[in-house]
Amino acid sequence: MKLTRYIIKILICLFALPMRAQSDGGEMIKRYAEEYVTCENANTRLRLANKFFTYLHEIDYIDEPIAFPDGSHIDSVDVNVYYYVAEWYYGEGEYQTTINYCMRATQCMGVVDDASKSDVYGLLGAAYFRMSAFDKAADALNKCYELDKKTGDFDRMSSTLNGIASVFVAAGKPEEAEKYIQKAIAANSLTENLNRRAVLYGTTSEIYRSMNDLEQSLNYARKALDTERQIGDSAKIGVRLSQLANAQLGLSKIDDARRSLEEAIPLLHSSGNLHSWGICQNQMGDILASEEKNEEAAACYLEAAMLFLGQGDKYNELHAREGLYNVMKSSSPSDAMMHIERAKLLQDSIYKHDTGEALGKYNAIYFNDILQKEKERTERRVHILLISTIILLVIIVLGIVLTYCHQKRKQRHYEQHLSTMQDQNELINKQFQNMLADTIPDADNLTEDDRQFLSQLTSIVSAAIGKGNPDIEALAEQMHINGVTLRRRLYQTMAVTPKAFIHQVRMKKAKHLLQNYRDLTIADVAEKCGYSQMSNFTRAFTNFYGIMPTDARSQTT
């Protein structure tokens, strides 16, 4: 078998996309990171951090600009810089470097908010997971989940629980993983995050595949793909197709799996997702091996093995090495033995005894202690039932009646509260629109038609921003024009883009609420202006006005 040809092909696949990423800014990010780490002066680091985040915004790596004013606590600055550098390296598949920068971030968390700490530990857990260090991944994700519970953010909680489930399924404990993923799905059901929902369904498919519940695996894989197609992200669609192929292979639907992979592989390769692309190579190798096309299968397995070796992903490299042994043992026994020896080393490293003990410990944190307590409560209930059945029935009936009455009262209170909130929102929007109408420029170059256009657009944007980021095309449709016309007229009248105009309206509404509705908390104001995270709102408001929201509240209108 001519392995040289395959190795050349591997090198091309491995280096083509990373080199393209570097030309798009990767080398610049590396230089910023190296300069920041070696700088000891706090003021200089602050200036470097602002230059770094300005660059990230210029290349559209972050959606909103981030800037730290003079006097910012250097720990907070350090954590943000190290996190974003680590996140970039994670996207490049350099997981050990990701871990190094995450560990730097954990050493300066004294004054950092819980959400930022959670971000760091979540990324650290993901990087450890990619390197098959499952005990360390569980440790990091455990810390992440405890922080998420403090914030009360169901979206964060569902994400972290998904990570923990992935750790357990990769470590060969799918039954435990199922418990976590169901909790994650329940948390996600309280949010509108379809991106997260697609990820959760994909993980659930993999869990049921590991449990050999193949119909459930296929069902969740299809739900994941349908959700992702609804969102329309082609790179993520490639990942869901890979998960669908995995479920189809479990049910021996070889032709279906091949079609899924043939659609997935070019999507993943063009998006630069080499990790998922490597998984697809393993899956395609499995299909070709089942058809006894051993040479073609070896090429796929070898590409995957070299990719995962470079990334430090032991779990997926193990799959590739075992596949290479099976398809080469007849034609190239010496090469096959080399791969199976490597597979044994990987298996010993992944499933070592202390890793199993560590995972058992974290499993106990979430479930074993709960199950034990539930068992003890059940035994007590049995004794109580034996001696007080009649009393218990009376209590149950009484409880049903009281619960019904309580629910009716809650429903009435909720309806009253909802009505009050709707009235308040209508009043707020009306007053705010009147205020903004007075601020529309009255320049000589603006016609009456231009002023009416700005007034109408301001009214529509004001009503829309409380629901998140308004879609430009949807705004244009409400204005009975197309998106191109909307952008052109905004630029002619205000010399701004739609995104900048929306941001101005959002900030003005926030200031209006802070100064005129003192009964609203700052969190309420943030929510009414479309921010789900207080930290994002505070950062955006401070950048726009140069003062904190709390300071704006103390100003007079």
In the chain, domain spans:
22-152, 156-164+172-272, 403-554
Once rounded to an integer, what is the mean pLDDT over residues 507-534? 88
How far apart CA 105 and CA 119 sit, in angstroms, is: 10
Q: Provide CB contacts within 8 A for 467, sequence distance 6+.
A: 530
Q: How many CB atoms lie within 10 A of CB 176?
A: 22
User: pLDDT category, 369, cuts 50, 70, 90?
Assistant: very low
How far apart CA 127 and CA 353 sit, in angstroms, is: 21
Q: Provide CB contacts within 8 A for 287, sequence distance 6+.
A: 249, 254, 257, 258, 261, 297
Calculate the average pLDDT of the chain: 83
Give pLDDT, residue 282: 94
Chain segment 107-128, per-residue pLDDT in tens: 998 888 888 899 999 999 999 9
* Residue labelled with tokens 């119909």: 215
Q: In terms of Cα–Cα distance, which of 304, 315, 276, 311 is closest to 89?
A: 311
In the chain, the amino acid numbered 125 is G
Helices 154-170 and 114-130: angle between axes, nearest 10 degrees: 20
CATH classification of 22-152, choosing from 1.25.40.10, 1.10.10.10, 3.40.920.10, 2.60.120.330?
1.25.40.10
What global pTM score does this model have?
0.51
Residue 362 has pLDDT above 50, yes or no: no
Q: How many CB atoms lie within 10 A of CB 438?
A: 7
Give pLDDT, residue 323: 93
How far apart CA 445 and CA 487 sit, in angstroms, is: 18
Q: Are 244 and 225 in contact (CB under 8 A)?
A: yes
Give pLDDT, residue 161: 93
Residue 21 has pLDDT above 70, yes or no: no
Q: In terms of Cα–Cα distance, which of 420, 426, 435 is closest to 516?
A: 435
Specify the fold of 403-554: Arc Repressor Mutant, subunit A (1.10.10)
Residue 130 has pLDDT above 50, yes or no: yes
Residue 20 has pLDDT above 60, yes or no: no
How far apart CA 509 and CA 511 sit, in angstroms, is: 5
Residue 194 has pLDDT above 80, yes or no: yes
Domain 156-164+172-272 and domain 403-554, same fold? Reply is no
How far apart CA 100 and CA 341 sit, in angstroms, is: 30
Chain segment 384-416, per-residue pLDDT in tens: 777 878 887 888 888 888 888 777 777 766 566
How far apart CA 463 and CA 543 sit, in angstroms, is: 23
Chain segment 26-81, per-residue pLDDT in tens: 788 889 889 998 998 989 999 999 999 999 988 888 888 889 998 889 898 999 99
**Higher pLDDT among residues 296 and 455, named by residue:** 296
Give pLDDT, residue 408: 73
Chain segment 206-255, per-residue pLDDT in tens: 999 889 999 999 999 999 999 999 999 888 999 999 999 999 989 999 99
Q: How many CB atoms lie within 10 A of CB 241?
A: 27
Residue count (the chain)? 557
Tokens of 326: 């099976």
Give pLDDT, residue 440: 57
8: left (phi over 0), alpha (psi -120 to 50) or beta: alpha
Burial class of residue 119 (count of CB atoms within 10 Å of its CB; 0-12, 13-18, 19+): buried
Q: How far is CA 251 from CA 212, 218, 280, 454, in A?
A: 10, 8, 17, 58
Tokens of 277: 């692309």
Once rounded to an integer, what is the mean pLDDT over residues 297-310? 92
Q: Provide CB contacts within 8 A for 106, sequence distance 6+.
A: 120, 121, 124
Residue 85 has pLDDT above 90, yes or no: yes
* Residue labelled with tokens 């998922």: 276
Residue 147 has pLDDT above 80, yes or no: yes
Q: Are 460 and 478 in contact (CB under 8 A)?
A: yes
Once rounded to an integer, what is the mean pLDDT over residues 163-167? 90
DSSP 303-361: HHHHHHHHHT-HHHHHHHHHHHHHHHTTT-HHHHHHHHHHHHHHHHHHT-HHHHHHHHH
* Residue labelled with tokens 């392995």: 3
Q: In terms of Cα–Cα distance, which of 52, 112, 116, 64 is closest to 88?
A: 52
User: pLDDT category, 429, cuts 50, 70, 90?
Assistant: low
Residue 446 has pLDDT above 90, yes or no: no
Q: Provide CB contacts within 8 A for 457, sequence distance 6+.
A: 475, 479, 486, 490, 501
Give pLDDT, residue 86: 93
Q: In terms of Cα–Cα distance, which of 208, 200, 166 is closest to 184?
A: 200
Q: Chain centroid to CA 535: how far?
A: 17
Q: Chain centroid to CA 225: how far?
A: 17
Q: Which CATH architecture does the domain made up of 156-164+172-272 adopt?
A: Alpha Horseshoe (1.25)
Q: Provide CB contacts within 8 A for 48, sequence distance 6+.
A: 32, 35, 36, 39, 81
- Asked which of 31-35, 151-155, 371-375 is least confident by mean pLDDT, the reply is 371-375
Element (H, E) at 192: none
Q: Provide CB contacts within 8 A for 277, sequence distance 6+.
A: 238, 265, 268, 269, 307
Q: How many CB atoms lie within 10 A of CB 64?
A: 11
Measured CA angle at 424 (ends 420, 426), to 5 deg: 120
DSSP SS3 for 185: helix
Q: Are 204 and 185 in contact (CB under 8 A)?
A: yes
| Residues of the chain above pLDDT 90, percent | 40
Give pLDDT, residue 376: 56
Residue 1 has pLDDT above 60, yes or no: no
Rg of the chain taking only CA atoms, in angstroms: 28
DSSP 242-287: HHHHHHHHHTT-HHHHHHHHHHHHHHHHHHT-HHHHHHHHHHHHHH
How far apart CA 144 and CA 471 sit, in angstroms, is: 32
Residues 342, 343, 347, 348, Cα dihedral to 10°: -30
Tokens of 290: 């089942």
